[in-house]
A and B are shown apart, each in its own frame.
Chain A
């Protein structure tokens, strides 16, 4: 269950020797140091984020059910608002790609993207065409394609339709309601499994009860969550829509229909920044303990730079992407992401963490 394929790029197995300070040998952190770090990250970073996701998906599920019962403009506006709230919560935890979110392919069920072959469009329009009542159950969605049961499908249903599409107990409204309920169930299960099981597994790494052989191994998953998204954000959320200097492709932006592509990236970076230094024990404090204060400062500065660069970009990106200014801002952002990726990857050697192959590589 460990494989997490999402579209891709050749991996970076390690780090350029350029960035490895020659001749200086740092002791790797102790198992106790890893244990302390993991504990902080689980309790202060991961669990609160899954809690927020559960809250917002529960709310979304309730408001879609209410809309189908009594369709009116207020209800429709509320559902769109709750969708935005849910997407906020998801973007803030999207970087965590291990643990219960991997079980039963929940991560892909929550969000299949990018959709290079328009499969969501094809599969969704087939459902809307056939209007088969059997497809209106959570049980069906468990078996169904990841194309028709996640946040992108919900976004299409909500943002490329009008209130009229949701009236008279329409199939479209019921499908929306079912998907929202399914997403809420997934979020509940993810949080529950973290609380009941996975948190314990991380705390007891090295024991018979744990998935992990030791605390460092658990920390590898944490470090992957910090570093791998940097390349994914850069390649998929920024460079792919920019299209290598050719005509820009606004419809390759994530969440362009709900006009929140930029906000997603902002939330991603804020989340990674918090993962890096926002908890009582953090990667930042660990690096300082290992005598890497200058590097830790540098990484913090890069996060600040990224956040500043993001604030300067004009929303919604689906429109501003056509402006040359936005293109050059995004290219700068991409450079900063790459630099941060390198700096963090270099420090993984200091910390004796091997990130290994990742699931992204491209054709």
Chain B
């Protein structure tokens, strides 16, 4: 099969003749309002999900047993549903991107937090001196020449000292994935079926397993408190007077629309198709999956893709089943470039189907880490299909950018533009 190479939107723009109609076209400010309203609703739902998670964790710590642990795990998975849909807001909105590392940092060297099995994890890393620091077992850490007091495990210790300690991104001390590790433990099944299998007794005060249960309980509570505080902050940012919303409203029309499209394209391509999916496929490594402890990656990917769709179509289904909707980017694009909109709609649908295919397989026991295994030809192909669909979707976004003539808009938050260089002596 001949593989079609990238189609420059500039070329397409010249090829299609686009008629302009104003009849049903929403204004930019209507589109921005819908976009911000969906952001608010999505982060509110994420906050609700985190509070439910906290309630389940309280119950787990009250009576640590298989049932309460299972309930806490289910609450974590439910909390991910709205959060993943919020990721379409991350790129393009610097206020979200700067904050994101606190709540969803990945991948992590989990040996920083708790005990690990060294068979595959190993004892040392080229990159990270805190690879096996195990703060739950140790009341003090040595970083460079400095001794760090970790006697009390508090939200402050996690957020201000441990997180990204020693300047290393893999030292993730906070957020969903730290909590995920605490609820599931390492997945020791390689690319065979099965997730992490931490026993509930790791939280038992009477029959403690894994050692230092008191400190593990403190850690779990502190990380959950932080998650709630961080999500609350992002909810506030999208309220009527919130900073994120105000920043958008201040932008020129084209810059605001470009922000939305940037968020969609960057998530679809570099992040989701690339970093979180294709890299795993090429490394065939069970730790190269976004939710590697819980084996929930199929749903994370599904809802990431759905978030892009929400933003484009201007419609979000809340966790209580109600809908937040308004004039969306789709209608805005359709009024100026109907063919580009139709193409985008088709690509979004194709991506959702490719994501659904991974979900269906996972339900039958073949989770993402199994699908990417060496020699799992059919599984590898299923994952590749998702990558291909996202790549096609990105081309459709580029086409829209070209047709709307947004490719000359300066995008804030791009590092290359934040720091005007002073070179050339």
In the complex the two chains form, what is the Cα distance from A145 to B372 in whole Å? 10
In the complex the two chains form, what is the Cα distance from A54 to B144 in whole Å? 44
- Sample 29 A-B pairs with CB under 8 A, ordered by A number: A5-B275, A8-B275, A11-B266, A12-B414, A13-B262, A13-B409, A14-B408, A16-B417, A17-B408, A20-B408, A112-B282, A117-B125, A145-B284, A145-B374, A146-B282, A217-B7, A218-B5, A221-B5, A244-B167, A302-B424, A335-B423, A338-B421, A338-B423, A342-B416, A349-B408, A356-B6, A356-B9, A357-B266, A357-B397
254-291 of chain A: CB within 8 A of chain B? none
21-38 of chain A: CB within 8 A of chain B? none
In the complex the two chains form, what is the Cα distance from A338 to B387 in whole Å? 30
What B residues does A11 contact at CB under 8 A? 262, 265-266, 270, 414
What A residues does B391 contact at CB under 8 A? 2-3
Would you call B76 an interface residue if the criterion is a C-beta within 8 Å of the partner chain's C-beta atoms?
A: no
The 6 closest A-B pairs by CB, nearest first: A5-B274, A361-B270, A246-B167, A14-B407, A335-B421, A339-B421
Q: Name A residues whose Cβ lies closer than 8 Å to a Cβ of B.
A: 1-18, 20, 98, 105, 108-109, 112, 116-119, 121-123, 125-126, 143-147, 211-214, 216-218, 220-221, 231, 235, 243-244, 246-247, 249, 251-252, 301-302, 305, 332, 335-336, 338-339, 341-342, 349, 352-354, 356-361, 363
What B residues does A144 contact at CB under 8 A? 284, 374
Q: In the complex the two chains form, is B266's CB within 8 Å of A10's CB?
A: yes
386-425 of chain B: CB within 8 A of chain A? 387-388, 390-391, 394-395, 397-398, 401-402, 406-411, 413-417, 419, 421-424
Q: In the complex the two chains form, is A359's CB within 8 Å of B269's CB?
A: yes
Instruction: Return the chain B residue nearest A214 by Cβ.
Output: B11
Q: What 13 new A-B contacts, CB under 8 Å, besides A116-B170, A217-B5, A363-B106?
A: A10-B262, A13-B409, A14-B410, A112-B282, A118-B125, A119-B285, A145-B374, A335-B421, A336-B423, A342-B421, A356-B395, A357-B270, A359-B270
Q: In the complex the two chains form, is B9's CB within 8 Å of A119's CB?
A: no
**If A5-B279, A145-B374, A338-B421 touch, does A357 touch B170 (CB 8 Å cutoff)?**
no
Q: In the complex the two chains form, is B107's CB within 8 Å of A10's CB?
A: no
Instruction: Return the chain A residue nearest B285 by Cβ.
Output: A119
B107 touches which of A17, A117, A123, A146 (Cβ 8 Å): A117
What A residues does B241 contact at CB under 8 A? none
**If A13-B411, A121-B126, A357-B265 touch, does A112 touch B283 (CB 8 Å cutoff)?**
yes
CB distance from A141 to the nearest CB of B (A): 11
Q: Which of B37-45, B97-105, B303-311, B327-335 contacts A (4 or more CB under 8 A)?
A: B97-105
What B residues does A143 contact at CB under 8 A? 374-375
In the complex the two chains form, what is the Cα distance from A10 to B258 in whole Å? 13
In the complex the two chains form, what is the Cα distance from A11 to B411 in whole Å? 9
A15 touches which of B10, B92, B262, B410 (Cβ 8 Å): B410
B3 touches which of A211, A235, A243 (Cβ 8 Å): A211
Looking at B8, B9, B106, B126, the one whose CB has the most chain A CB atoms below 10 A away is B8
How many residue pairs link A and B with beta carbons under 8 A? The number is: 218
What B residues does A341 contact at CB under 8 A? 416
Instruction: Return the chain B residue nearest A28 by Cβ.
Output: B10
Would you call B169 an interface residue if the criterion is a C-beta within 8 Å of the partner chain's C-beta atoms?
A: yes
Q: In the complex the two chains form, is B273's CB within 8 Å of A361's CB?
A: no
Instruction: Return the chain B residue nearest A220 by Cβ.
Output: B8
What B residues does A13 contact at CB under 8 A? 258, 262, 401, 406-407, 409, 411
**If A3-B387, A15-B410, A251-B126 touch, does A145 touch B275 (CB 8 Å cutoff)?**
no
In the complex the two chains form, what is the Cα distance from A118 to B111 in whole Å? 14
Would you call B91 an interface residue if the criterion is a C-beta within 8 Å of the partner chain's C-beta atoms?
A: yes
Q: In the complex the two chains form, is B421's CB within 8 Å of A336's CB?
A: yes
Would you call B253 an interface residue if the criterion is a C-beta within 8 Å of the partner chain's C-beta atoms?
A: no
Would you call B365 an interface residue if the criterion is a C-beta within 8 Å of the partner chain's C-beta atoms?
A: no
Q: In the complex the two chains form, is B122's CB within 8 Å of A125's CB?
A: yes
CB distance from A64 to the nearest CB of B (A): 24
A10 touches which of B97, B278, B279, B283 (Cβ 8 Å): B97
Q: In the complex the two chains form, is A123's CB within 8 Å of B285's CB?
A: yes
B-side interface size class: 35 or more
In the complex the two chains form, what is the Cα distance from A247 to B283 in whole Å? 30
Q: In the complex the two chains form, is A3's CB within 8 Å of B424's CB?
A: no
In the complex the two chains form, what is the Cα distance from A11 to B270 in whole Å? 9
A16 touches which of B15, B167, B271, B410 (Cβ 8 Å): B410
B285 touches which of A10, A145, A301, A349 (Cβ 8 Å): A145
CB distance from A311 to the nearest CB of B (A): 15
Q: In the complex the two chains form, is B274's CB within 8 Å of A8's CB?
A: yes
**If A221-B5, A252-B127, A356-B398 touch, does A361 touch B406 (CB 8 Å cutoff)?**
no
B122 touches which of A8, A16, A118, A216 (Cβ 8 Å): A118
Q: In the complex the two chains form, is A211's CB within 8 Å of B5's CB?
A: yes
Would you call B202 an interface residue if the criterion is a C-beta within 8 Å of the partner chain's C-beta atoms?
A: no
In the complex the two chains form, what is the Cα distance from A353 to B413 in whole Å? 22
Q: In the complex the two chains form, is B274's CB within 8 Å of A231's CB?
A: no
CB distance from A348 to the nearest CB of B (A): 9
**If A8-B274, A117-B170, A121-B126 touch, does A17 touch B284 (CB 8 Å cutoff)?**
no
Would you call B288 an interface residue if the criterion is a C-beta within 8 Å of the partner chain's C-beta atoms?
A: yes
63-117 of chain B: CB within 8 A of chain A? 91-92, 97, 100-101, 104-107, 109
**If A5-B275, A11-B266, A211-B4 touch, does A117 touch B109 (CB 8 Å cutoff)?**
yes
What A residues does B92 contact at CB under 8 A? 10
Instruction: Return the chain A residue nearest B100 by Cβ.
Output: A363
Would you call B250 an interface residue if the criterion is a C-beta within 8 Å of the partner chain's C-beta atoms?
A: no
Instruction: Return the chain B residue nearest A346 by Cβ.
Output: B408
What B residues does A147 contact at CB under 8 A? 283, 285
CB distance from B310 to the nearest CB of A (A): 20
What B residues does A357 contact at CB under 8 A? 265-266, 269-270, 394, 397-398
What A residues does B121 contact at CB under 8 A? 122
Instruction: Return the chain A residue nearest B10 by Cβ.
Output: A354
In the complex the two chains form, what is the Cα distance from A158 to B170 in whole Å? 27
159-209 of chain B: CB within 8 A of chain A? 166-167, 169-170
